[in-house]
Amino acid sequence: MEGHKLAQVLLATLLVFAAGCVTVKPQQRSVLADPIMQFEGDPQASAQLRHAIDNREGSYGGGGVAGGGCGCN
Amino acid sequence: MRLQLRAPARVLGSLGRPAHRRTRSALIAGAASLVLAFARVASAQVAQVDTAHTFYHEAPTRTNMTVYTPGVDVAVTPAEWVTVRGGYEADIVSGASVATKAGSAYQSVNPGVDVITTASVKDFRHSPRGGFTLRKGDVAYTASYTYGTENDYKSHSIFVGARTDAFDHNTQFELSYARNFDSVCDRVQAVEDTPPRFRALEDSSGCFTSEERRRRRALSIDGFQASWTQAWTPTFASQLVYTAQLLDGFQSNPYRSIIVAQGLKAQEHHPDVRVRQALALRFNWYLRPIKVALRLTGRVYRDTWDITSGTGELEAERYLVEGLRLAARGRFYRQTGALFWSDDYTGGEPPLGPKGQYFTGDRELSPFWSLGLGARVTYTIHPTAKPEGGTARLLGIFTNAKLGSSADVMQFSYDEYTLAGVPITNARAYIIGATAGAAF
Query: What distance in Å separates residue B289's CA from the closest CA in chain A?
Result: 13
Contact A69 B231 (CB under 8 A): yes
Write down the domain spans for chain B: 1-44, 45-439
- Give dist(CA B424, CA B438) in Å, integer: 43
> Does B239 lie at the interface with A, CB-CB under 8 angstroms?
yes
Pairing state between β B82-101 and B257-261:
parallel
Q: A52 by DSSP, 3-state: which?
A: helix
| CATH 2.60.120 correct for B45-439 | no
Residue B100: CB atoms within 10 A of its CB come to: 19
Which one of B66, B229, B238, B435 makes the best mutation probe of the A interface by having the most chain A beta carbons within 10 Å?
A: B229
Give the pLDDT of residue A65. Answer: 67
Q: Would you call A29 and B234 a contact, using CB atoms and an 8 Å cutoff? A: yes
Residue A73 has pLDDT above 60, yes or no: no
Q: Chain A residues with CB inside 8 Å of B167's CB?
A: 19-20, 22
In this complex, which of A22, A62, A65 lies closest to B174 when CB atoms are compared? A65
pLDDT band at B14 (very low <50, low <70, confident <90, very high): very low
Mean per-residue pLDDT of chain B: 89
Dihedrals φ, ψ of A32, to 5°?
Answer: -60, -30
The answer, for B408 touching chain A at a CB cutoff of 8 Å, is yes
pLDDT band at B391; cut points 50, 70, 90: confident
pTM of the model: 0.86
Name the residue type at position B239.
Q
Interface check for B410 against chain A (CB to CB < 8 A): the answer is yes
pLDDT digits (tens, 9 = 90+) for B128-158: 999 999 999 999 999 999 999 999 999 999 9
Torsion of CA A39, A43, A46, A48, to 10 degrees: 160
pLDDT digits (tens, 9 = 90+) for B284-336: 999 999 999 999 999 999 999 999 999 999 999 999 999 999 999 999 999 99
Tell me how crowded residue B393 is: count the other CB atoms within 10 A of its CB. 16
Predicted local distance difference test score (pLDDT) of residue B5: 33
Instruction: State residue B427's pLDDT score.
Output: 96
pLDDT digits (tens, 9 = 90+) for B392-431: 787 778 888 999 999 999 999 999 999 999 999 999 999 9
In terms of pLDDT, which residue wins out, B21 or B199? B199
ipTM: 0.81
- Whether the Cβ atoms of residue B239 and residue A64 lie closer than 8 Å to each other: yes
Give the nearest partner residue to A59 out of B51, B228, B307, using CB atoms.
Answer: B307
Chain A neighbours among B 83-142 (CB < 8 Å)?
Answer: 89
Spatial separation of the C-alpha atoms in residues B123 and B300, rounded to whole Å? 32
* Contact partners, residue A29, CB within 8 Å, separation at least 6: A70, A71, A72, B231, B234
CA distances from B259 to B189, B342, B424 (A): 18, 11, 19
Yes or no, beta carbons of B166 and A68 under 8 Å apart: no
